[in-house]
Each structure stands twice: as structure tokens, then as C-alpha cells.
Amino acid sequence: MSRIGKLPVVLNGVKAKIENNFLIISSAKGELKQVLHPLVNINISETEIVVSINDLTDKKQCALWGLYRQLINNMVEGLTTGFTKELEIIGVGYKAAVAGQKLTLNLGFSHPIDFLLPEKIKGEVKGNIISLSSIDKQLVGEMAAQIRKLRKPEPYKGKGIRYVGEVVRKKAGKAAAANK
């Protein structure tokens, strides 16, 4: 029995409907779609969405039950409050700038890196903090991971791009090893 799957998803001012095996949730902020799996049943009322399955003993169905409930909950939460990921740039001369949907990063390479953001994502730069926000949680996380991958934090000085609040364990250099 899925502890997450059995919880209803409360619709806070958003509309939900099922069309051609897609669950479509919309609000004033936009519209999100999710393909429905045939083993998962969706019941929509005026105030909530209830996800259910047919066989409670099947592990795959129980896993899909909790997964689809959480995917639907993320869609509703994104359309009501939205999602934000923040990245921190650390390093001398490292900087970022946003112009429209183009994020320009200077990360110590011989040339600046131009990173195109999808239309659904809004990017902002304040000092050394890059803020990505959107209604789609998966898209925000994926774009943040791709930007971080451009210059991962290195373990000796900690330079690079990291998530705000991420802890990078630092290693001792050669000098520390030679003094043993």
C-alpha cells in the first residue's frame, strides 16, 4: 500500500481534465500535461484528484500509484506557486548575465558560454546567484543540472557552479600529503 499514493491531490484554483490518455491541468499561469499509464486510475472531482490502482499486491502498480500521485501534485503545485532552483557561481572572474532567454556564462574558459533557456523557464542573475523559475519542476531541475555540469565545483578550491546550500567537501593538496 502506497502511503503517498493514497493521499488526494487538492486542486487549489486549477482545473483538471483527461483527454486522449493525457491528464491536463491548467490555471492562469499556464497548462501542464502528463501521459497516463494504463495501470493507474484517475478520479477527478471539483476539489481534488484521487489516484488509485486495481491490484494492491502488485509491486509495479504500487510504485506507479505513488509516482503518478506525486507527478500530479507537482503539476498542481507548479501551477499555483511555481518552482525555483538557485545556482551559485564561485571563482575569480566567474560571472553570468541573462539577456532574454540566453544565459551567458564566463567560467574561466577562453570563451564565454551561451546557454539557451527554454521558453517555459525564466532566468535571473543577482550577483553570483543564478535563479531559474518555472511551473514545471522537472524542467527546472534538468536545466539547473545542465548549467551545473558546465563547471562542476572542484574539490581543492571549491571553484565552479553549485546549488545554493550545497556542501562541497574539500581535499588537502599535495603540500599536506608531503608533510606526513
Ordered structural domains, the chain, with CATH: 9-80 (3.90.930.12), 83-163 (3.90.930.12)
Residue 17 and residue 12: Cα distance in Å, rounded?
15
Q: pLDDT value at position 19? A: 92
**Cβ 50 vs Cβ 56: under 8 Å:** no
The whole-chain average pLDDT of the chain stands at 91
Q: Is residue 108 predicted with pLDDT exceeding 60? A: yes
What are the Cα distances from residue 126, in Å, to 11, 29, 89, 95, 164? 34, 24, 11, 10, 13
The pLDDT confidence band at residue 110, using thresholds 50, 70 and 90, is very high
Does residue 19 sit in helix, strand or coil? strand
pLDDT tens sequence across 83-93: 999 999 999 99
List strand residue ranges (DSSP E) for 15-153, in order: 15-19, 22-27, 30-35, 40-44, 48-53, 83-90, 95-99, 102-106, 113-116, 122-126, 129-134
pLDDT tens sequence across 44-96: 998 999 999 998 888 898 889 999 999 999 999 999 999 999 999 999 999 99
The amino acid present at 102, given as its one-letter code, is K
